[in-house]
């Protein structure tokens, strides 16, 4: 982990902000605000990704528990989001900290220009020492276009701002080898070198107020891992806890983290967009030799290795690249689909040209 001042993304779940019967819980929020303020007072830059809009708002709609229909959740979020921001503004104000609200949708990431605007806005706020507080724009997000949940939104934001560490705060102190709610003998796993399929399968569903459960936190930590960002999943009990996370003494599970070693520099923003957000309209299949050249020898993809072309795409658009049925990465094509297809009729050795330059290529994350 990098020494000195760090850029941190802290994601906090509904269960750590709202009362179990719904509505904002000022005590829980005070604890979070004190803990984040301690990070800032120590000179670190923080971006807060805050859930809790639905959980804070549904009571005022007359519901006894978290509603299930989309319209009710969206209406609850509209109410709860303003209650959350009102409370954050007040509580952070007492620590001489100004806050800014940013509501994002999945399509803000897939439109390259909006993605760049989000990056510029966040950078400026951080430069001016303002605390950005991000949530999904629930009222306009439709099921197919959501981030899945805020754990993933937090991982994508961590990538966008090139965070040194992604902290996921929840009601449980990390990952257990089985769901601790139903297994009293469950053991906590404090350090994970990486998230694998096997690890993902250890985790179960959500709490009464949350959405994705531990599994979605692991999937998000895996995405952060692919972006070169270590994660911490844990519970906040005292306001000094987040500073302790930075020294390796956090009460939770660390993923891909070393208190001594520097974090990887992270995938450049342009490549993150290609890897995780860009829309694709087609794909190509390449042979083994070409796959080896781009994956092992880090070369550009040449025309001679292309075996098949699918879909309709133009020059300059992002395409998926498959080898033996497996998706191996994505990149910006220098050819339109039509021209690639035409070239397939020519003997491979006679085909020349770069299809995807290595600077515009990203391996599957």
Ligand X SMILES: N[C@@H](CCC(=O)OP(=O)(O)O)C(=O)O
Ligand Y SMILES: Nc1ncnc2c1ncn2[C@@H]1O[C@H](COP(=O)(O)OP(=O)(O)O)[C@@H](O)[C@H]1O
Binding positions: 11, 51, 138, 150, 170-171, 211-217
CB of 340 to ligand X, least distance (A): 40
Q: Of these, 13, 22, 67, 159, which contacts ligand Y (CB under 6 A)?
A: 13
Give the chain's radius of gyration (CA, Å).
Answer: 22
Name the H helices within 111-207: 112-127, 150-160, 197-200
Q: How far is CA 292 from CA 249, 256, 299, in A?
A: 41, 26, 9
The binding site for ATP comprises 11, 170-171, 211-217
CB of 271 to ligand X, least distance (A): 26
CB of 60 to ligand Y, least distance (A): 20
- Binding footprint of ligand Y, residue count (CB under 6 A): 25
25 binds ligand X (CB under 6 A): no
309 close to 333: Cβ distance less than 8 angstroms:
no
Distance CA 128, CA 53 (A): 26
Helices then strands, each counted (H, E), the chain: 12, 17
CB of 231 to ligand Y, least distance (A): 14
Phi and psi at residue 200, to the nearest 5°: -55, -35
- Residue length, the chain? 365
Binding range to ligand X, per CB under 6 A, among 118-126, 134-142, 260-268, 314-322: 134-142
211 binds ligand X (CB under 6 A): yes
Query: What residues from 49 to 108 belong to the interface with ligand X (CB under 6 A)?
Result: 51-55, 77
**Local structure of residue 217 (DSSP, 8 states):** H
57 binds ligand Y (CB under 6 A): no
Mask for 210-239, x = binds ligand Y (CB under 6 A): xxxxx-------------------------
Enclosing H/E stretch for 50: strand 45-50
Full DSSP string of 309-346: EEE---TT-EEEEEETTEEEEEEE-SS-HHHHHHHTTS
The binding site for substrate comprises 51, 138, 150
Query: What residues from 174 to 213 belong to the interface with ligand Y (CB under 6 A)?
Result: 175-176, 178-181, 202-207, 209-213
Distance CA 359, CA 352 (A): 19
For ligand Y, the closer of residues 207 and 269 by Cβ is 207
Which among ligand X, ligand Y, none contacts residue 53 (Cβ within 5 to 8 A by kind)? ligand X
Binding range to ligand X, per CB under 6 A, among 207-215, 227-235, 244-252, 298-306: 207-215
| Residue 181 tokens, joined | 């709610």
Distance CA 95, CA 100 (A): 15
> Residue number with the shortest CB distance to ligand Y?
13
Q: Which residues bind ligand X (CB under 6 A)?
A: 13-14, 51-55, 77, 135-136, 138, 149-150, 206, 210-212
């Amino acid at each position: 982990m990098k020494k000195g001042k760090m850029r941190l993304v802290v994601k906090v779940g509904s269960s750590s902000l709202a009362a179990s019967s719904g509505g904002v819980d000022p005590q829980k929020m005070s604890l979070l605000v004190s803990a984040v303020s301690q990070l800032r007072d120590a000179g670190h830059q923080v971006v807060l990704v805050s859930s809790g809009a639905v959980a804070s708002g549904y009571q005022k709609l007359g519901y006894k528990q978290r509603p299930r229909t989309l319209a009710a959740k969206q209406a609850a979020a509209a109410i709860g989001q303003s209650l959350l921001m009102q409370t954050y503004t007040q509580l952070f104000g007492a620590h001489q900290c100004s806050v800014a609200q940013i509501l994002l949708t999945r399509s803000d990431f897939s439109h390259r220009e909006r993605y760049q605007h989000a990056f510029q806005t966040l950078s400026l706020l951080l430069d001016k020492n303002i605390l950005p507080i991000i949530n999904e724009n629930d009222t306009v997000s439709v099921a197919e276009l959501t981030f899945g949940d805020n754990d993933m939104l937090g991982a994508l934001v961590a990538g966008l701002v090139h965070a040194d560490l992604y902290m996921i705060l929840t009601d449980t102190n990390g990952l257990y080898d089985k769901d601790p709610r139903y297994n009293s003998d469950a053991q906590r796993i404090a350090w994970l070198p990486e998230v694998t399929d096997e690890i993902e399968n250890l985790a179960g569903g959500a709490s009464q107020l949350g959405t994705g459960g531990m599994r979605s936190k692991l999937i998000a930590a895996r995405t952060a891992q692919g972006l070169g960002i270590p994660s911490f999943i844990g519970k906040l009990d005292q306001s000094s806890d987040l500073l302790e996370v930075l020294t390796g003494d956090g009460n939770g599970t660390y993923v891909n983290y070393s208190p001594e070693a520097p974090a990887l520099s992270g995938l450049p923003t342009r490549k993150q967009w290609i890897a995780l957000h860009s829309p694709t309209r087609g794909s190509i299949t390449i042979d083994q030799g070409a796959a080896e050249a781009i994956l092992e020898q880090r070369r550009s993809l040449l025309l001679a290795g292309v075996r098949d072309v699918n879909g309709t795409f133009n020059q300059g658009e992002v395409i998926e690249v498959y080898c033996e049925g497996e998706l191996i990465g994505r990149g910006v094509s220098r050819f339109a689909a039509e021209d690639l297809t035409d070239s397939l009729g020519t003997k491979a050795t006679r085909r020349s040209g770069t299809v995807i330059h290595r600077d515009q290529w990203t391996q599957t994350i």
